[in-house]
Amino acid sequence: MLQLKNLHVSVDGTEILKGIDLEIGPGEVHAIMGPNGSGKSTLASVLAGREEYEITAGEILYDGADLTELDAETRAREGIFLAFQYPVEIPGVSNTYFLRSALNAIRAHRGEDPLDAIDFLELVKDKAKLVRLDEKLLKRPVNEGFSGGEKKRNEIFHMAVLEPRLAILDETDSGLDIDALKIVADGVNALRDTQRSFVVITHYQRLLNYIVPDFVHVLKDGRIVRSGDRELALALEDQGYEWLETAPVAAGA
Amino acid sequence: MDRTAAPAGSFVASVAEIIGRIEGEPDRLVDLRLEASRAFTAAGLPTTRQEAWRFTSLRALAETPHRPAAPADAEIADLTIPGSHRLVFVNGRLSPGLSAAEDLPRGLTLRPLAGALAEAAGPAASTIGGAVDLARHPFAALNTAAFADGALIHLEPGAIVEAPIHLLFVTVGDGEPTWSAPRTLVAAGAGSQATVVEHYVGAGGESLTLPVTELRLAAGAILHHVRLQEEPRSARHIALQASRQARDSRLDSVALNIGAGLMRTDIDAVLAEPGAHAALDGLYLVEDEQHTDTHLDVRHAAPHCTSHELYKGILDGRSRAVFNGRIVVDPAAQKTDAIQSNRNLLLSAGALVNSNPQLEIFADDVRCTHGSTVGRLDEEAVFYLRSRGLDRATAESLLTYAFAAEIVGAIPVGAVRERIERHLVARLPQGELAREAF
């Protein structure tokens, strides 16, 4: 579904990603871990189509086609979703209205009719239950006055309504207490299926107790220095990132 | 030309002629007109050498002789507010046929000033001009000297008027540059309540509208006031709104400046007695070469008064906005609570804003805050919306609409709110979509 080949990315002339190779198949959950400043959020931003990032070498293929040709909204309509590390407050625009516009833009792209207000409302109520989002937050302006946990849950709620094929969660666990973390993880797990893929970016192993990944990759200084399965994440929790300095780079990473 | 007062010859000559023709007005008013005429003649047209006019040049106006507008007919079918009490003035003169001021509720007087001023002991003749500083406002002086007619709204103590009162001022050009000076006096008695819409429109042609509005609120009066200016681009609009509030009165006033090529609005507000509250909000929506200038001058003269000002501007093209927000707190005005905010959204690289707060505080136990911002749309917010599937034009329209919504949503008259929404929709690439969001 998604292939990164020797991906190099710079911001303002500084190289952040220095040759990433990664292949994600349908239905797979890949965790990307790594210390602060390793390039995790840059990877998320590049996949979502943030324009200030310059791809200096390599390629990104989505369903075999060059993803970098597409602007952010077209990527969204093609089924890519980014759950923001810092969800943005949009004063004045109601959460429900925004979501309906987004969903109908995606449906139009697929050649489907817009969802009418009643069908949409049912869908929204259904999905809000999934992440136990207070219905009051549906009518409020997007993220405005939401607590940190509510903002993260709102991101997963958006994801549940928009039903992407590739979801990228950028440090969705940061700042969440254990109860909120479980709710978010439950929401994600409910959406897992054989066709939908996830890239779960996190600093901490804790999240991966609840969203169990198929693959774990460790990103360090712009490179994937180790890939493995869930055991790798547990080893990182025990030993931190330091031991990777001297350990050999895993084959294929 | 900018070094000294610009020649005001064509105006001065007209004023002398107008005053000479006036008959049947009480002595107080005749004296006031003569005093105003002298003040205007002495001041001349302001130039950019004067601090209050530093960013607003009247050079083109000074170089264009204007004559007083002649009576004319107008068409107002799509301008009315359903269910309102209405007076319509065309080129500063009452149009009885277009007005709808019969069956007024008890306690409301709504009538043309021309007749009311002839009654020496009436509320109009005894109070008109009292809130206007002729020395500081040369165009208000010109209005005072020369106004032919206007609206009197008088609320008896305790009168509650539910339906909005719509004052519609239409400027109709005749091919040559003309000026008119409509006048409004609102006197709200103790404990009364009403909603007043001042509405300025035009039918094209180079024109200059010089309105003066006085709002007098007695103790406990509540006045909702909307000032909607949507004259054509060929018009210049230079207005003064002067309010004076007694104890525990409440003025909620919003100024909506959409039209005219050049617009200048001076708002003088005096909180004269304890417990008075003034909310003075505004929205300017300008594009192309439009120039808007708002000068607020709020004076706290008594303790325990509050004044809240929120002015928002959306600028496109090569338009320019000037905002000067002065708040004066007198030594006696302890426990003043004054908040001022001016926020500007630039949609183009060519638009320009001069925003200047000016606090003069002479009391020591007060809370006064001000803030001023000028900026583009938040790119992070645009990206957030795009990353969920909205295209850039829709995302930007939505955010721009949301920026204005704080002011627009609070407009107390539905028909006015809808007019502003239509302006917004017309100016945004995906305005119709954005409108649905609110």
Identify the three-state secondary structure at position B34.
Answer: helix
Distances (CA, A) of A24 to A2, A27, B15, B369: 5, 9, 82, 54
Sign of the C-alpha dihedral computed for residues B58, B228, B223 and B281 taken in this order? negative
d(C-alpha B357, C-alpha B37), whole Å:
32
List, for residues A129-182, the tens digit of each pLDDT value. Answer: 988 898 899 999 999 999 999 999 999 999 999 999 999 999 999 889 999 999
Angle in degrees, CA B337, B343, B347, rounded to 5 = 170
Q: How many CB atoms within 10 Å of residue A129?
A: 12
Distance CA B118, CA A240 (A): 91
Cross-chain CB nearest to B387 (options A72, A97, A99)? A72
- Cross-chain Cβ contact B389/A105 below 8 Å: yes
Q: Note every long-range contact of A105-113, with CB atoms under 8 Å and residues 24 or more positions apart, other chains counting.
A: A105/A73, A105/A76, A105/A77, A105/B389, A105/B390, A105/B391, A105/B394, A106/A76, A106/A77, A106/A162, A106/B389, A109/A74, A109/A77, A109/A78, A109/B389, A110/A77
**Residue extents of the structural domains in chain B:** 10-273, 377-438
Facing B402 at nearest CB: one of A48, A72, A90 = A90
Q: Where are the alpha helices (DSSP H) in B128-255?
A: 138-146
Find out whether B89 and B96 touch, Cβ atoms under 8 Å.
no
Which among A73, A157, A159 is the top mutation candidate for probing chain B, defined by the most B β-carbons within 10 Å of its own β-carbon?
A73
Show the tokens assigned to A119.
């069908």
Whether the per-residue pLDDT at A253 is higher than 50: the answer is: no
- Taking only the tens place, the pLDDT of each residue in A61-92 is 999 999 999 999 999 999 999 999 999 999 88
Check CB contact of A115 with chain B, cutoff 8 Å: no
What is the average pLDDT value for chain A, to the nearest integer? 91
Q: Token pair for residue A82?
A: 């980014």
Q: Are the Cβ atoms of B392 and A73 closer than 8 angstroms?
A: yes
Is B385 in Cβ contact with A98 (below 8 Å)?
A: yes
To the nearest whole angstrom, how far is the Cα of B84 from the nearest Cα of chain A? 30
What is the reported pLDDT for B234? 95
Taking the C-alpha atoms of residue B282 and residue A75, their distance in angstroms, rounded to an integer, is: 39
Q: What average pLDDT does this structure show over A87-99? A: 91
Residue B125's pLDDT is 86
Q: In this model, does residue B201 exceed pLDDT 90?
A: yes
The more confident residue out of B19 and B330 is B330
Which residues, 6+ apart, have CB-to-CB distance to A201 below 8 Å?
A31, A32, A33, A40, A41, A43, A44, A168, A169, A170, A171
Contact A151/B at CB under 8 A: no
Pick from A236-245, B147-156, B252-261: least confident: A236-245
Q: CA B85, B144, B299 angle in degrees (round to 5)?
A: 85
- Closest by Cα among B333, B223, B229, B239 to B280: B223
Instruction: Look at residues B295, B319, B184, B299 and name the one whose alpha carbon lies nearest to residue B238.
Output: B295
Predicted local distance difference test score (pLDDT) of residue B282: 98
Q: What gap in Å lies between CA B254 and CA B35, rounded to an integer?
A: 31
B131 in helix, strand or coil? coil
| Residues of A in Cβ contact (< 8 Å) with B389 | 73, 76-77, 101-103, 105-106, 109, 162
Distance CA B260, CA B209 (A): 10
The H-assigned helical ranges of chain A are 40-48, 72-77, 95-109, 117-130, 136-139, 148-162, 178-191, 230-239
- Greatest CA separation for chain B: 70
The interaxial angle of helices B138-146 and B27-43, nearest 10 deg, is 140
Confidence bin at B7 (pLDDT 50/70/90) = low
CB contact under 8 A, A101 and B437: yes
Q: What is the pLDDT of residue B8?
A: 74
Q: Which of B383, B394, B401 sits opposite A50 (nearest CB)?
A: B383
The CA-atom distances, in angstroms, between B177 and each of B50, B204, B393 are: 25, 11, 39
Question: Taking CB atoms and an 8 Å cut-off, how many pairs form between chains A and B?
Answer: 82
What is the per-residue pLDDT for A4? 96
Q: How many beta carbons lie within 10 A of that of residue B414, not counting itself?
A: 12
* Residue A125 main-chain phi, psi, to 5 deg: -65, -40
CA B240 centroid distance within chain? 6
Residue in chain A lying closest to B402 (CA): A92
Match 């829709």 to its residue by tokens.
B394
Q: What is the pLDDT of residues B114-156, one digit of tens each?
A: 889 988 788 888 899 999 999 999 999 999 999 999 999 999 9
pLDDT digits (tens, 9 = 90+) for B53-74: 999 999 999 988 899 999 899 9
Amino acid at B37: S
Q: With a cut of 90, say whether residue B160 has pLDDT above it.
A: yes
A87, A91, A101 ranked by CB distance to B433: nearest: A101
Least confident of B120-129, B189-198, B301-310: B120-129
Q: Is the pLDDT of residue B397 over 80?
A: yes
- The residue ranges of DSSP E strands in B316-386, in sequence order, are 320-329, 337-346, 352-361, 367-375
- Nearest CB neighbour to B388, from listed A71, A89, A162: A162
DSSP structural state of residue A72: H
- Is the pLDDT confidence value at B216 over 50? yes
Which residue in chain A is spatially nearest to B404 when comparing CA positions? Answer: A92
Once rounded to an integer, what is the mean pLDDT over residues B283-296?
98
Tokens representing B424?
A: 């917004």
Q: Which residues contact A152 (CB under 8 A, 6 or more apart)?
A: A83, A87, A172, A173, A175, A176, A180, A184
What pLDDT is recorded for position A252? 43
Residue A184, min C-alpha distance to chain B (Å): 19
Taking phi over 0 as left and psi of -120 to 50 as alpha, with beta for the rest, B402 belongs to alpha
CB distance B314 to B284 below 8 Å? yes
Q: Give A8-64 pLDDT, tens digit per residue.
A: 999 999 999 999 999 999 999 999 998 888 999 999 999 999 999 999 999 999 999
Q: How far apart are CA B362 and CA B193, in angstroms?
A: 32
Q: Check CB contact under 8 Å for A48 and B436.
A: no
Q: Does residue A224 surpass a pLDDT of 50?
A: yes
- Residues facing residue B341 across a β-bridge: B310, B371
**Cβ–Cβ below 8 Å for A92 and B402:** yes
Query: Which of A49, A91, A158 is closest, CB to CB, to B402?
Result: A91
Is B242 a residue whose pLDDT tops 60? Answer: yes
* Whether pLDDT at B168 is above 80: yes
Interface test with chain B among A46, A78, A82, A88, by most B beta carbons within 10 Å: A88
- Determine the distance in angstroms separating the CA of B433 from the nearest CA of chain A, rounded to an integer: 9
Whether B388 and A48 lie within 8 Å, measured CB to CB: no
